[in-house]
Amino acid sequence: MGTILDGRALSKDLKLALGDKVQESGLEPKLAVVFDPTNDGSRLYVGMKQRAAAKVGIATEDIAVDPDVTTEAVLKIVADLNADDTVTGILVQAPLPEAVNDQEIFSAIAPAKDVDGLGAYNQGMLFGDQQGEYAVAATPQGVMTMLAHYDINPYGKKAVVVGRSQLFGRPMAALLNNADATVTLAHRYTPREMLLAELKDADIVVVGVGIPNFITGDQIKDGAVLVDVGMNVVDGKATGDIDFDSAVDKASFITPVPGGVGPMTIATLLENTYQAALNQNKQ
Ligand SMILES: NC(=O)C1=CN([C@@H]2O[C@H](COP(=O)(O)OP(=O)(O)OC[C@H]3O[C@@H](n4cnc5c(N)ncnc54)[C@H](OP(=O)(O)O)[C@@H]3O)[C@@H](O)[C@H]2O)C=CC1
Ligand SMILES: Nc1nc(=O)c2c([nH]1)NC[C@@H]1CN(c3ccc(C(=O)N[C@@H](CCC(=O)O)C(=O)O)cc3)C=[N+]21
């Protein structure tokens, strides 16, 4: 049976250490969270992020947008937060209402306050594998932290990332590439046979498409590392994109859902928020 990559336990340790760092720093980080309160997922995840922030000494301020809000109105909200010196980090929880172009909003966040690393500046730094201080998207960065914790080194490995969103797949592929894996980035238009051939050959598979049990044990190589980013609700329960029961015996390592990538995302967001406050204080 594969070893469980226990994101919940690791995130607890990270948050404990972070709480100490925040306290010792004397900083007062404040994270502004812009979100659509009519989206059930956003309400749930924003609530989780705020409770976790409070525990490590990071203040939050929520800014709920109206369902009929325009891109212009959200750009104004972001501009005001950029100009507010008491706000050290800004998180725009995706998705915002239909009419809003999320990517345009991410890129309007001042790079130093873009704690989710989703704006063009921070993503550009990541894609160029640039040196220096910049925030990396919390979900893929959390996955890398988890791999490192379990001594899983992507160097020289074949990695397949399924899903290519700005939030997950694109930065995930960039991080694995920067770590010297050979990376395939699959998506909706990857022919089924091509995807299956890639999966059979992959040492590391990271999946986030939003389809319950999209990947099954028979599709993967013996001893593969499986990371499940998917977060679906099936019969009221959090369910991933990997069919855990059929995959666990073939994998060398596997993340559970819940308790895998999700908690790592939150811990990483908080670390990014502390780091942003620290960097702003240096200037
Ligand atoms: N645990 C966590 O911390 C997080 C979990 N999530 C979860 O991860 C999942 C994906 O989220 P997100 O990236 O934001 O979602 P998006 O809807 O933005 O992206 C979904 C991606 O999956 C691809 N896709 C859809 N269908 C298929 C298919 N049949 N075969 C291959 N690829 C396919 C899409 O391809 P195309 O680009 O061609 O349309 C797209 O790139 C969701 O379940 C979400 O809840 C997301 C972020 C954080
Ligand atoms: N700008 C932005 N940044 C994000 O990071 C972002 C986003 N927008 N939009 C939506 C997705 C989704 N997401 C999750 C984070 C944690 C859990 C999480 O902790 N899940 C628990 C389970 C929760 C449950 O039981 O339902 C777990 O996996 O153990 C889930 C999902 C962050 N996202």
pLDDT digits (tens, 9 = 90+) for 178-227: 999 999 999 999 999 999 999 999 999 999 999 999 999 999 999 999 99
Domain harbouring 247, CATH code: 3.40.50.720
For the chain, give the mean pLDDT: 97
Q: What is the total count of domains within the chain?
A: 2
For residue 82, being part of any structural domain is answered with yes
Could you read off the pLDDT of 124-166 as tens digits, one per residue? 999 999 999 999 999 999 999 999 999 999 999 999 999 999 9
Catalytic residues: 49, 93, 116
pTM over the 0.90 mark: yes
Instruction: Place 282 in a pLDDT band, splitting at 50, 70 and 90.
Output: confident
Indicate if 214 and 108 belong to the same structural domain: no
Task: Please answer whether residues 99 and 71 qualify as being in contact, where contact means their C-beta atoms are separated by less than 8 angstroms.
Answer: yes
Q: How far apart are CA 273 and CA 90, in angstroms?
A: 9
Q: How far apart are CA 252 and CA 151, in angstroms?
A: 12
Task: Please answer whether residues 60 and 32 qualify as being in contact, where contact means their C-beta atoms are separated by less than 8 angstroms.
Answer: yes
On whether 252 is known to bind a ligand per the annotation, the reply is: no
Kindly tell me if the per-residue pLDDT of 283 is higher than 80.
Answer: no
For residue 242, being part of any structural domain is answered with yes
The domain of 199 spans 138-261
For residue 266, being part of any structural domain is answered with no
Indicate if 172 and 236 belong to the same structural domain: yes
Indicate if 195 and 234 belong to the same structural domain: yes
Angle at 108 between CA 232 and CA 141, to 5 degrees: 45
For residue 278, being part of any structural domain is answered with no
On whether 164 is known to bind a ligand per the annotation, the reply is: yes
Q: What is the mean pLDDT of residues 58-63?
A: 97
For residue 133, being part of any structural domain is answered with no
Indicate if 35 and 99 belong to the same structural domain: yes
Indicate if 53 and 148 belong to the same structural domain: no
Residue minimizing CA distance to atom 39 of ligand 1: 188
- ipTM of the modeled complex: 0.98
Could you read off the pLDDT of 76-91 as tens digits, one per residue? 999 999 999 999 999 9
